[in-house]
Amino acid sequence: MFASVTSATVVGVEPRAVRVEVSLATAQRETFTIVGLPDTAVREARERVRAAITATGLRFHRGKVTVNLAPADVPKAGSAYDLPIALGVAAALGEAPRSCREVVALGELALDGTVRSARGALAAGIVARQRGQRCLLGVSALAEGALSGAEVTGVDSLAQAIAVVAGTDPGTTDTAPTPPSRDPAVDLASVRGQEVARRAVEVAAAGGHHLLLSGAPGSGKTMLARALAGVLPDLTEHEALDVAQAHAAAGRPPFLDARPPFRSPHHTATPAAIIGGGSGMPVPGELTLADRGVLFLDELAEFPPYLLDTLRQPIEEGAVHVARKGASVSFPCRVQVVAATNPCPCGFHGDSRSPCRCAPAAVGRYRARLSGPLVDRFDLRVPVHRVEPAELLGPGGEATASVRGRVEVARRRQIDRGVLNRALDRDALDALPWDPDAHRLATRAIERFDLTARGWDRVRRVARTIADLAGDDSANADHMAEALGLRGAV
């Protein structure tokens, strides 16, 4: 006797279908075996499934039960396979209709046969949508599964799940989600003074450029970083679903949100928390949770140097590759990195009012925590100076809504060319129209400030963004001069 039911798992952040195959055979002793790289929680499904089937009033096979979770080379974790295993066993015994194979099921079973929600509801919904099938979930997981756009049905118990498959019970279809609370972005109008830094925020948002803010404590670096998150354009529905899936893969409540994510890990976070990892199947870290949004690294120099250097390749490639004994996966991290740092341990080196108390050697050691290759990856490097009293008491600056309008127009110009300016390679940059004076100015800057080849490309990308904000087809010397200034190369 044989039956199969479809379920789902997540590899990296990608949903994968899992075929739950159930084979029943006669044997002198009752055995229940689960194969297909199950972890402890999956293997323990034997007891939950047996008790749930018995509590539901169905008979259980007294011979040999073998469950295969295919593909067998992908690790399976958690309690989410309880419901599909129970449906498969019931179908193989004739206690449930064979149409179980036409649904995607996911959920944990209690010993009395009730269905609890389990991790992976969004992945199950995506798999069901791709296969054109209905998705069966625990009632409390309906809102998450519905984000996929699939036909999702909630069930309270194994008995109801069998009835839904048989067509005698409609199940629950109320999928109204509860939006999570989130801190609102800082409005740029609340930032006093800091004209250069405000301009850097606008340019960074328009081109997706990485931004490094350096200045004394209390000068407004964190406010500027949080304001940048509000300047970014809204995500498309497809992008929002990618973000939701990344959060679901990390075990966090997913929700479709048009606003780009903003993540701000503490400097004591572990490499696995930021890069991704864990035992068995790796899970995403902060880099992936910030995908298509902003990763804010406050107190940059307080992060361990080895951890900062591990960020160099992922933020350049837009993906991070994590290999563990259980699997090797790739997580997306198309992030915009915004970092804030003090110029020295006490924070007041170069301040006009508070004298620096650090020894020169201490200042050098503090700055040496940021490697040259890491700093070179920041397109914009802007000093943030103390705000003068007159500026604090004066009117606020331009509001976020107004700045975002210009950013959206500039981004549309870039999308029409194919990619955001931060992703332009050298050939694409060469093919764009440039005023001869702009290149002459950049050439002098290379000779004077010892720009690297990477720095040369980054300066041109920023100049192109400034031209897009101005609505100019060709980048001129003024655009290049501003780009050099915002990189700290003037």
Is pLDDT above 80 for 326? no
Q: What is the mean pLDDT of residues 164-179?
A: 80
CA–CA separation, 421 and 143 (whole Å): 37
- Higher local confidence (pLDDT), 397 or 403: 403
Instruction: Measure the CA–CA gap between 152 and 128, rounded to whole angstroms.
Output: 9
User: Can you list the pairs that 443-446 forms with residues at least 24 positions away whose Cβ atoms lie under 8 Å?
Assistant: 445/484, 445/489, 445/490
Token pair, residue 263, equals: 């993540």
Q: What share of the chain is helix, strand, coil (3-state, %, to 5)?
A: 45, 20, 40
pLDDT at 19 exceeding the cut of 90? yes
* Lowest mean pLDDT, pick from 210-219, 353-362, 385-394, 473-482: 385-394
Helix or strand or coil: residue 144? helix
Decide if pLDDT at 346 tops 50: yes
pTM of the model: 0.87
How far is 489 from 448, CA to CA, in rounded Å?
A: 9
Angle at 74 between CA 71 and CA 77, to 5 degrees: 115
> What pLDDT shows up at residue 51?
95
Residue 263's φ and ψ, nearest 5 degrees, are -120, 140
Phi, psi of 294 (to 5 degrees): -115, 130
Q: What is the DSSP string of 392-461?
A: HHS-----HHHHHHHHHHHHHHHHHHTS-GGG--HHHHHHS-B-HHHHHHHHHHHHHH---HHHHHHHHH
What pLDDT was estimated at residue 220? Answer: 85
Burial of 364 (0-12, 13-18, 19+ CB in 10 A): exposed
- 404 pLDDT above the threshold of 90: yes
For residue range 412-426, list pLDDT tens digits in order: 999 999 999 999 998
Of 119, 95, 84, 82, which is closest to residue 251 (Cα–Cα)? 119
pLDDT at position 489 is 46
Tell me the average pLDDT across 118-133: 94
Residue 473 has pLDDT above 50, yes or no: yes
Residue 176 has what pLDDT?
61
- Cβ pair 9, 123 in contact under 8 A: yes
How far apart are alpha carbons 403 and 469 in whole angstroms? 10
Mean pLDDT, the chain, integer: 89
| Rounded-to-integer distance, Cα 288 and Cα 243, Å | 8
Q: Residue 490: what pLDDT?
A: 38
pLDDT digits 0-9 by tens, 232-279: 999 999 999 999 999 999 888 888 888 999 999 999 999 889 998 877
Instruction: Give me the percent of the chain exceeding a pLDDT of 70.
Output: 96
The two tokens of residue 81 are 């396979």
The percent of residues above 90 in pLDDT, for the chain, comes to 59
User: Highest mean pLDDT: which of 111-120, 394-403, 449-458?
Assistant: 111-120
Query: Token pair for residue 399?
Result: 């509001």
Residue pair 74/81 in contact by the 8 Å Cβ criterion? no
Look at the chain and count its residues: 490
pLDDT at 395: 72
Does residue 189 register a pLDDT over 90?
A: no
Q: What average pLDDT does this structure show over 284-311?
A: 93
Banded model confidence at residue 180, pLDDT cuts 50, 70, 90: low
Per-residue confidence (pLDDT) for residue 179, from 0 to 100: 58
Contact status, residue 310 vs residue 271, Cβ threshold 8 Å:
yes
pLDDT score recorded for residue 182: 63
Return the minimum-mean-pLDDT range out of 29-38, 341-350, 427-436: 341-350
Which residues, in sequence order, are CB contacts of 132 under 8 Å at separation 6+?
A: none
Task: Specify the range with the lowest mean pLDDT, choosing from 21-25, 77-81, 133-137, 389-393.
Answer: 389-393
According to the model, what pLDDT value does residue 291 have?
Answer: 94
Between 487 and 465, where is the model more confident? 465
User: What DSSP designation does 33 have?
Assistant: E
Structure tokens at 239: 């992008």
Give the confidence band of 178 by pLDDT, cuts at 50, 70, 90. Answer: low
pLDDT-derived band of residue 177, with 50, 70 and 90 as boundaries? low
